[in-house]
Amino acid sequence: TDAMGRVVAFLDRPSRSWPLRLPVPLLVLQPDAAGVRITRAAATGRLRFGGPGWEFPSDGPLTLLAGKRPLLALTLADAEARFGL
C-alpha cells in the first residue's frame, strides 16, 4: 500500500513452476554509518512466469507506472534465501 493506504501492487497471474530449483545470486545494500554495506546473498527456488501485476494511482509517487504493464514478470516460487555468504 502507499502512504494513503491504497493498494499499489498485487499478484494476479499465477502459472506453473518449472520443475528445477534454480540458484539466483543477490546483493543486499544496506545503509550504515560508513555509507552503504553490501552483503552477498543467494536464493534458490522454482522459476515461473507471471507474478506481480500492478495498479498505481495517477497521483502517487510512482505515477510514471500508472496504466503500464510489466514487459516480463517472473516469480521465484518456494524460495529459500541465504545471507552473508
pLDDT at 73: 78
- Give CA 52 to chain center in angstroms: 8
- Chain segment 28-85, per-residue pLDDT in tens: 999 989 899 999 999 998 888 876 667 777 787 778 887 887 787 778 888 899 988 7
The backbone region for 50, taken as left when phi is positive above 0, alpha when psi lies in -120 to 50, beta otherwise, is left
pLDDT at 44: 92
Which has the higher per-residue pLDDT, 32 or 9?
A: 32
- Chain segment 52-65, per-residue pLDDT in tens: 667 777 787 778 88
The backbone region for 33, taken as left when phi is positive above 0, alpha when psi lies in -120 to 50, beta otherwise, is alpha
